[in-house]
A and B are shown apart, each in its own frame.
Chain A
Amino acid sequence: MEILENREAWQAAYKEGWLAHWRKTGETNWKIYNRPNHKTAPSGKGIDLSQSRLLLISSAGGYLPASQNPFDAENDLGDYSIRQFSIDSAPTDIAFAHTHYDHTAVNEDQQVLLPLRHLKEMVSAGEIGELAPQVISFMGYQPDAVRVVDECIPLIIAAAQAQNAQAALLVPS
């Protein structure tokens, strides 16, 4: 199945509408943004989570400032790259480069967007088989759906496969 349904029509509307307006005015006008509107959901078999490796995927813009570059959060056209960091990273080692949500809650309690402590407890309780060793992180401000499909998603899939993930939990911000 297509990840982005009606890709060519979506891309034409994006280029002629939202993107053309941004190029002309420098404004990000969401009133004229055509959000993807899908008709079909992906199908797939259920799994026994207690026997599976679960991967956490976050769109909150998390990264390790000591060793990684931040996401380009100020770019009106988005950032389609990913970062990976250990599930054992100390909360104080993780920062968030994403200017499109209020960071008050995540600065107070990282579990609201990166629930690694809770997930580890579920592993200890036998509810989850194990966690994939790296969190996959991206910055969810990505207005170009075609670039999401062509750039970001292949990076996520490759990283997920490299970690032999059998299940994934996406936590958007």
Chain B
Amino acid sequence: MEGIATTLTSWNAGRTRVTKPPRATFTRLSRGATIGRPHDTAQQKRVLKATLDLLAHDAPLDPVQLNEKVD
């Protein structure tokens, strides 16, 4: 979206990487729980903060792999 700085997070690095997003974090979370495990507020906030922090940087950025997993 031209003029609007965008970022995303995805549990599916393989399918997302080929779409060439301007900014992205990748996790090993699961379909249907993109931001984190249910009720794991700490994990959800880590994923959000890492993803939103990318907005400070000019795009395109290389995607950032986060060490966030389902279990």
Tell me the bound Cα distance from A18 to B34 in angstroms.
27
B52: which of A37, A40, A169, A173 is its contact (CB, 8 Å)? A169
Tell me the bound Cα distance from A134 to B52 in angstroms.
18
Contact B35 A111, beta carbon cutoff 8 Å: yes
Contact B9 A171, beta carbon cutoff 8 Å: yes
Is A108 engaged at the interface, CB distance under 8 Å to the other chain?
Answer: yes
| Set of chain A residues within 8 Å of B39, measured between Cβ atoms | 108-109
Tell me the bound Cα distance from A83 to B40 in angstroms.
28
Contact B10 A44, beta carbon cutoff 8 Å: no
B19: which of A38, A46, A48 is its contact (CB, 8 Å)? A38
Q: Known contacts A112-B35, A115-B35; decide if A46 and B55 are in contact (CB<8 Å).
A: yes
Shortest distance between the CB of A96 and any CB in chain B (Å): 9
Total residues of chain A contacting the partner, CB 8 A: 48
Shortest distance between the CB of B16 and any CB in chain A (Å): 8
Which residues 28-71 in B have Cβ within 8 Å of A in the complex?
30-39, 41, 44-45, 48-49, 51-52, 55-60
Is A49 engaged at the interface, CB distance under 8 Å to the other chain?
Answer: yes
Main secondary structure of the interface of A (DSSP, over half): loop
Q: Known contacts A46-B59, A115-B48; decide if A41 and B35 are in contact (CB<8 Å).
A: no
Per-residue interface assignment for chain A, residues 139 to 157, with 1 indicating a CB less than 8 Å from any chain B CB and 0 otherwise: 0000000000000000011
Tell me the bound Cα distance from A76 to B5 in angstroms.
32
Contact A49 B52, beta carbon cutoff 8 Å: yes
Is A119 engaged at the interface, CB distance under 8 Å to the other chain?
Answer: yes
Q: Known contacts A49-B52, A118-B45, A172-B10; decide if A43 and B58 are in contact (CB<8 Å).
A: yes
Per-residue interface assignment for chain B, residues 1 to 36, with 1 indicating a CB less than 8 Å from any chain A CB and 0 otherwise: 111111111101001101111100000001111111
Interchain residue pairs with CB less than 8 A apart (18): A36-B19, A41-B21, A47-B56, A52-B55, A101-B31, A106-B33, A109-B38, A111-B36, A111-B38, A111-B41, A112-B37, A118-B44, A118-B45, A122-B49, A127-B49, A156-B1, A168-B4, A172-B16
Q: Which chain B residues have a beta carbon within 8 Å of chain A's beta carbons?
A: 1-10, 12, 15-16, 18-22, 30-39, 41, 44-45, 48-49, 51-52, 55-60
